Amino acid sequence: MSNLTSLCVFCGSRPGTDPAHAREGEKLGRLLAERGVRLVYGGGGIGLMAVVANATISAGGAVTGIIPEFLRAYEVGVVDGADEIVVEGMHERKAKMFEISDAFVVLPGGLGTLDESIEITTWKQLQQHNKPIVFVNTNGYWDPYFALIDRVVDGGFGHHKVKELFQVVENVEQIFDAIAAAPEADEIVLTSHL
């Protein structure tokens, strides 16, 4: 990918127990601002989401938060200085995040982050997009997820190239190289069993 203008970050509405995740989130926000890449995120003003958004804004970057109306009261809306897009529900939120983003980064998070990550990867498997997807595996947070993907392949429910639908890095400094080097999705991940 040569022209990265907006990056969607999926991450938790909680900060998590490992302080390394917040440190990586802050670094990512600063890097996005330095590179002039707009942050697109789930719009929450709490947790790891707020850490990334606040760091981006503090460093002079642009942020767009996309949040369903029903979550605004719970998550206090987007952080100060961010653009806000209010949508009806979760499906519309994910569709809008996809629409306005050039690539996706997955930081640690909970069930919502898992949902977003699985859906965007599935859309890539189904040849609906070829946008890069990068998991930041700080302190091995995503190891169980990758083990599950291995189980899917080993169990005969996915072609081995599904593991190429996303990249894995250990820290946020590696994200942009991973995005630049991301391969296109091989059609065989969709057609190998048809």
pLDDT value at 157 more than 80: yes
Give the residue from 88, 82, 15 showing the smallest Cα distance to 49: 15
Residue at 124: amino acid letter: K
| Environment class of 49 (CB within 10 Å of its CB; exposed 0-12, middle 13-18, buried 19+) | buried
Give me the mean pLDDT over the 100-129 stretch: 97
What is the length of the chain? 194
d(CA 172, CA 175): 5
Q: Are 186 and 161 in contact (CB under 8 A)?
A: yes
The architecture (CATH level 2) of 6-182 comes to: 3-Layer(aba) Sandwich (3.40)
d(CA 103, CA 71): 24
Q: Where are the domains of the chain?
A: 6-182
Q: For the chain, give the mean pLDDT.
A: 95
* pLDDT number for residue 193: 83
Per-residue pLDDT band for 64 (boundaries 50, 70, 90) equals very high
Token output for 75: 């998550």
Give me the mean pLDDT over the 89-108 stretch: 97
Per-residue pLDDT band for 2 (boundaries 50, 70, 90) equals low
Please report, for residues 11, 44, 87, 181, 187, the alpha-carbon distance to residue 51 in angstroms, rounded to integers and kept in the order given. 10, 10, 22, 27, 37
Give the residue from 142, 143, 136 showing the smallest Cα distance to 176: 136
| Environment class of 111 (CB within 10 Å of its CB; exposed 0-12, middle 13-18, buried 19+) | exposed
